[in-house]
Chains A and B, each alone.
Chain A
């Protein structure tokens, strides 16, 4: 009896051990396909990026090691520096514009009633449409003579004949791109902000109302502080997205007029895939990666800080 029990105990312990081993092995096997993809298409390119940046690397033929020459060149490349400036300007305008409009919309339609839900869906409709697709749409909207926006503005006598060619001048061309992005992305930020607002307990607002606080005071003292983590998140999404802008500029302005609307990613694209200076393009990519890394680090810092505050 005693012996039998021990034997059963030993056997089950051994079974537990092998069972655990088998689960670990299965875990590794399950992760393997994803790991293979990540290694081949992300980790190896990432490593190669550094190596290429230290070489002169043409599309065809052999590459030659040049050390940090590509980086030295980047610091004095006025075209690249100009593209960085334009990207920052674009980010600086688009970010507050998006945030402000998204905030207003989120406040308007945060209710759970049918009308709020309906309008929310309307404002969100451009979000699933692709950025490239929306760009092709806006190129047409702002055409002189055939585009409905110019025509509409003529009808309400904001514009006069002959119609302006917005895409032929830097600032209006930039404004068209920004208008398109606001149209397409505001709904997304609205949903994120709204879910942040809805997670604020209603009892807080009720208690403040009982204490005689009006809408504005409740907004400043309850909504805004408790929304800080969401705000930080939305801001960082928007900044990172703007710093990587490419599609909308490629399609709407093609970098023009006379190369005045080239973003950093656009500049890297031209360096690597139009002039085929792949090594130099890799060096510029690495500089961009570092800049984005700094933004991400700042993001984490901000979120942690605001989490501690609330």
Chain B
């Protein structure tokens, strides 16, 4: 493995690695520091490198002057959409993945390929008619509608992952379960699903990340400010009051939306990277 590493002296290797590390971590540090400054210091010019006085005022001010914005509501919106997408995608992809892998029916192979083809067409390309369809079925400006749209566009990845997870399991497991009198549903639930947990976790995790961070569809499909998800809400803060932007508050918003992702990533790193690679190997 090390045979492929450039012939760098150890000290140069360390220097390069630390320099790059600083480059990638410093912006994250700066934004956390900025969010924890007292409001006056956060607006100071030139900016300070670290908070001289720690304060959570910026986080409290996320509610806007005079409560014009209720940040708790927007966090809740984001959380509901992200959890709904994660659970929904995991359930639909598990069922369909098992169907495609183990319960083949005439035409199932072709159908699987057709559903994966959604991978090829990004949803930016169908956003205009999607808006019209959602309006026609009464799901425009609705968090439920947004969640269903997210589930649909996460499905190809989940389907691919879950079909492969189930296809990799030995078939005598399933047969012996059925000989023992398990129904199809209980075979899936009791025997196959516990062995496919990594696939389910990866599917749910990626769906959560994507929908928590998604901006484009949320911006277009939700028009009522009280239903905005967090990334769209931050654009209100960015617009600012009377043309001035409170950078301390905006960066508090950045930290608020980045922290759940970073924590989840550090906790479930194995699944995250594994999912990336399996998606790429496709």
Contact = CB atoms under 8 A, between A and B. Distances in A.
Contacts of B219: 250
Contacts of A209: 3
A286 B124 CA distance: 10
A153 to B, nearest CB: 12
A80 B220 CA distance: 20
Contact of A25 (B13, B44, B105): B105
B120 A296 contact: yes
Main secondary structure of the interface of B (DSSP, over half): helix
A128 B7 contact: no
Interface in A146-184: 146-148, 151, 154, 183
Contacts, number: 284
Contacts of B195: none
B3 A202 contact: yes
Given A27-B105, A146-B43, A130 B258 contact: yes
Contacts of B91: 33
Given A107-B4, A214-B7, A28 B277 contact: no
Contact of A46 (B14, B34, B46, B126): B126
B9 interface: no
Interface in B234-248: 234-235, 238, 247
A141 B216 contact: no
Interface residues of B, number: 96
A285 B128 contact: yes
Given A145-B45, A151-B47, A293-B121, 15 more contacts: A27-B105, A31-B108, A35-B111, A41-B130, A48-B129, A49-B129, A52-B132, A119-B20, A122-B25, A146-B43, A146-B47, A148-B30, A205-B3, A285-B126, A292-B120
Interface of B: 1-7, 13-14, 16-17, 20-21, 23-25, 27-28, 30-31, 34, 43-47, 49, 91-93, 95-96, 98-100, 102-106, 108, 111, 115, 118, 120-122, 124-133, 137, 148-149, 151-153, 155, 159, 184-185, 209, 212-216, 219-220, 231, 234-235, 238, 247, 250-251, 253-254, 257-258, 261-262, 264-265, 269, 272-273, 276-277, 280
27 contacts: A23-B184, A26-B184, A31-B99, A37-B148, A38-B118, A40-B152, A52-B132, A107-B5, A115-B14, A122-B24, A123-B21, A128-B264, A130-B258, A136-B251, A136-B253, A136-B254, A137-B27, A138-B27, A139-B238, A140-B34, A146-B44, A233-B280, A269-B127, A282-B129, A285-B128, A289-B121, A292-B121
